Amino acid sequence: MSQQQQVVALLHRSIRSLRSLQQLHAYLLKSGLDSHQLPLSRLLLLLLTSSSSLSYACSIYRHSRTRNLFMANTIIRGHSQSDNPHVAVLVYMDLLKQGGQGNNFTFPPLIKASVRSDPAGKLGRQVHAHVVVSGAVNDSDVFVRSALVQMYSSNLDMAAARKLFDGSSARDVVLWTAMIDGYARNNDIVAARQLFDEMPERTTVSWSAMIAGYVRVGMFMEALGLFQRMQFVGTEPNESIVVSVLSACAHLGALAQGRWLHAYIARMGMEPNVFIGTALIDMYSKCGCIDQALLVFEGMLEKDVKSWNCIITALAMNGDARRALEFFSDMQKSGVRPNNVTFIAVLSSCAHAGLVEDGCHCFDLMVNVYQIDAKPEHYACMVDLLGRAGYLNEAEKFANASAQPDINIWGALLGACRIHGKVEIGDRVRKRMAQFGMNDCGSRVLLYNLYKSAGWLADANSVRKSIDDKGLTKVPGCSFIEVNGKIQEFLAGNSLHPCSTETLEMLEIMARTLIMEGG
């Protein structure tokens, strides 16, 4: 075995240790093997795929005397997934200046980097033009076409994406899936399903794209039905599918199906990682099983900010504000930095429990300690907190302090005025909302009730007349619950009625399976 081959073999055995890779790099420099492309290329690849040390890999690439296309592609791919994707474009431009040219391994990550660098799509279109003019890639290359389809989909240009798809002479499952995912991400679920049904073959990723599309547009019953169909044809779910289906169960309140899926995850030996764990917490909490959600959380080996946010929100949603604050404190002690979503959950919890002092402290902590810019959602929580507690003047000051007019902020203040009968402040809120064009039906109903209860009958009748003249109606609340293994849907003010769909039959099978398995 040659010296080069020995080093390459050592590189493969050292993939788990950055220190070992650095020692081998030093050996390459000392022995002069850094002038050989094979060991240096392998070193770069392992640094990016195993150690995620992009800056170290880039330093090696910059100082290399024998750069090749494989090395350039490795660096481009690394930057396309980094926080600085525009560097991938600069690396490619440098490659062109040196007389090099890309290939079918260069352009997919380069296109991805261009989309992340310029969401408006101008840079991506320039890369597309370069691909065509350079002639470096065959027109039928499905990986490049798939990347271009994803690029145009992200820019909401589905006509261009479809033109690429229809013009391809070699459509494989990757290209089909990219097109389906594009339609789904642009909420054209009908076109996505039509294409999905036309696919000559499907992979797990194809099923995942379609199921996630249904969840994205709120078609949760259809998502569960497609998941059941996927099982019938013998396709094993991946992590993405499990998370999507758990999300559908959470929104439907389908506890039996969610528990069945939890048991299925365990039975299949799937890794209960942070994504699946967080989805399980969300499902159990929205189904009212907060104790089970806590068990899942405590059993997670790894917890990120989303996991903490989910359990804090779960406790807040189930009325346990004090415990939500305790978990918020534990989160900080664990070294996980809270984000703006964390504080929305905490402030909302304080508002519903009337914990004014704790809420004000958390808001101050967010702005002055963690230096998180307060968004309209945070102001709405504070207005709700102060307004519910009767501090209407302070709540109005918070509403006026928000830089962005938001109906949730003024709506929260208007609701507090209705609770406490503060018609003068409510009248000022009406004027502010009219100034920002925020007079929706719900706000007008609140105003009508406020004016009427205060004896301002002329104002109340004026608001009522505006509702009738504009033909405004409140959208009725809609909920799903589970009764004897069946998903039931009901509207506010209506009696319970079952969802008589083909999907329901599939859900019943899942529920019966759970019962038979003793779940």
Do the beta carbons of residue 103 and residue 136 sit within 8 Å?
yes
**What pLDDT is stored for residue 341 in this prediction?**
94
Assign residue 373 a region: left if phi > 0, alpha if psi is -120 to 50, beta otherwise? beta
Contacts 24+ apart (CB under 8 A), 259-262: 259/514, 259/519, 260/510, 260/511, 260/513, 260/514, 260/517, 260/519
**What pLDDT is stored for residue 170 in this prediction?**
78
In order of 137, 304, 324, 328, 344, the CA distances from 336 in angstroms are 45, 7, 16, 10, 16
Contact residues for 16 (Cβ-Cβ < 8 A; gap 6+) = 50
Written as one string, the DSSP assignment of 403-437 is: SS--HHHHHHHHHHHHHHT-HHHHHHHHHHHHHTT
pLDDT per position as a tens digit, 18-63: 666 666 767 666 665 555 556 667 777 777 765 457 777 787 777 7
Do the beta carbons of residue 54 and residue 80 sit within 8 Å?
no
**What pLDDT is stored for residue 291 in this prediction?**
94
Q: What angle is formed at CA 270 by the lines to CA 143 and CA 310, rounded to 5 degrees?
A: 90
pLDDT per position as a tens digit, 248-282: 999 998 898 899 999 988 888 877 789 999 999 99
**What pLDDT is stored for residue 203 in this prediction?**
93
From the CB of residue 132, how many other CB atoms can be counted at a distance below 10 Å?
Answer: 11
**What pLDDT is stored for residue 292 in this prediction?**
94
Written as one string, the DSSP assignment of 200-237 is: SS--HHHHHHHHHHHHHTT-HHHHHHHHHHHHHTTPPP
**What pLDDT is stored for residue 271 in this prediction?**
72
Q: What angle is formed at CA 312 by the lines to CA 274 and CA 413, rounded to 5 degrees?
A: 135
Question: How far is it, in rounded angstroms, from Cα 97 to Cα 198?
Answer: 44
Find the DSSP H helices in 421-478. 423-435, 441-454, 457-470
Burial of residue 274 (number of CB atoms within 10 Å: 0-12, 13-18, 19+)? middle
Question: How far is it, in rounded angstroms, from Cα 321 to Cα 358?
Answer: 10
Question: How far is it, in rounded angstroms, from Cα 101 to Cα 247?
Answer: 45
- Report helix, strand and coil shares of the chain as percent, to nearest 5: 70, 5, 25
What's the residue count for the chain? Answer: 519
Question: How far is it, in rounded angstroms, from Cα 370 to Cα 183?
Answer: 39
331 sits in which H/E element: helix 321-333
**What pLDDT is stored for residue 45 in this prediction?**
73
Low-confidence ranges of the chain (pLDDT < 50): 1, 51, 490-505, 507, 509-519
Contact residues for 405 (Cβ-Cβ < 8 A; gap 6+) = 432, 436, 438
**What pLDDT is stored for residue 420 in this prediction?**
86
Amino acid symbol at 388 = R
Question: How far is it, in rounded angstroms, from Cα 366 to Cα 372?
Answer: 6
Question: How far is it, in rounded angstroms, from Cα 284 to Cα 307?
Answer: 13
Do the beta carbons of residue 480 and residue 487 sit within 8 Å?
yes
Closest CA to 38 of 28, 48, 53, 27: 28
Between the two ends of the chain, the Cα-to-Cα distance in Å is: 57
Q: What angle is formed at CA 177 by the lines to CA 176 and CA 180, rounded to 5 degrees?
A: 90
Find the DSSP H helices in 14-81. 18-31, 37-46, 54-63, 69-80
Question: How far is it, in rounded angstroms, from Cα 437 to Cα 111?
Answer: 41
